[in-house]
Amino acid sequence: MTLSQDEVRRYSRHLLLRDVGGPGQQKLKAARVLCVGAGGLGSPIIEYLAAAGVGTLGLVDDDVVSLSNLQRQVVHSTANVGKPKVESAAERIAALNPHVTTELFPVRLDGDNVAGIVERFDVVVDGTDNFQTRFLVADAAYALQKPLVTAAVQEFYGSVTTLQPYLSGDDGRPLPSWRCLMPHEPQGDVPTCAQVGILGAVVGVLGTLAACEVLKLITGVGTPLIGRLLMVDIRDMRVDSIGYKRRPDTVPPTVKGGRAGADKAPMLASEP
């Protein structure tokens, strides 16, 4: 996939990078990335992937822009309050980089639609704010063999990791899945940003880290956060990581309407 003269000028700083260069930029142009969530984490993810020249961005979000979003969801503007977030984000992408194509999904993901959306993309990045969707997306990406970058934030803290559980590591052991890190959804109510608040810039830090992971996966640069959970404490400015491995009882999930997977995961698979 060749680059136009306008793209050569636009991406000149990428082209100068020895590890990216023309071949890496062409991979970005050819890539299709699904961004689940167009809110706080989704904002920097979407903007940096668009600026980097990812050819197609799929945007999933069923919410509309509200005034309280604008303290951290910088992909949106005051003028777009009341507009669907996917439409607002698409406007920003078009203004930032006309070489990027957008596909909009103003829906809430569920067991009926997740496979049909996820399977259309090369990489999935999850910036949602609830565990139900996080588990749903992780299971779907695993079953459909799509790389997944997932990030989470609360108050002054955040985390990010990368998942490719359908592959094996250098030691021949299967790589860990999301359920190896968190086997089950948390029980009871988990506090939301609307209840406990969040420092706006925290989503910028974690969303940007997630975007970096996506760009690395596409270009093949560096070592992704596979089997490592990167944890960021903005309040005391500390960064740490913990390793996690494949659980022996991990069962590959299937998704309704998907083309991959052999064993059922109750959240996604059709029950008999």
Per-domain boundaries in the chain: 31-243
> Binning pLDDT at 50, 70 and 90, where does residue 258 land?
low
Q: Is 193 a catalytic residue?
A: yes
Q: Rounded distance, CA 103 to CA 212, Å?
A: 21
Per-residue model confidence as pLDDT tens digits over 70-108: 999 999 999 999 999 999 999 999 999 999 999 999 999
Is residue 143 within 8 Å of residue 261, measured between CB atoms?
Answer: yes
DSSP one-letter code for 54: -
Residues of the chain above pLDDT 90, percent:
83
Q: Rounded distance, CA 39 to CA 85, Å?
A: 8
3-state secondary structure of 156: coil
35, 180, 193, 212: the active-site residue: 193
The position carrying tokens 């659980």 is: 247
Residue 222 is encoded by which pair of tokens?
């560096």
Fold of the domain built from segment(s) 31-243: Rossmann fold (3.40.50)
Give the H/E segment covering residue 41: none
The gap from C-alpha 95 to its chain's centroid, in whole angstroms, comes to 22
Per-residue model confidence as pLDDT tens digits over 137-147: 999 999 999 99
What residues have CB less than 8 Å from 98, skipping those under 6 apart? none
Residue 257 is encoded by which pair of tokens?
């309407």
**What pLDDT does 270 receive?**
23
Once rounded to an integer, what is the mean pLDDT over residues 47-56?
A: 98
**What pLDDT does 187 receive?**
74
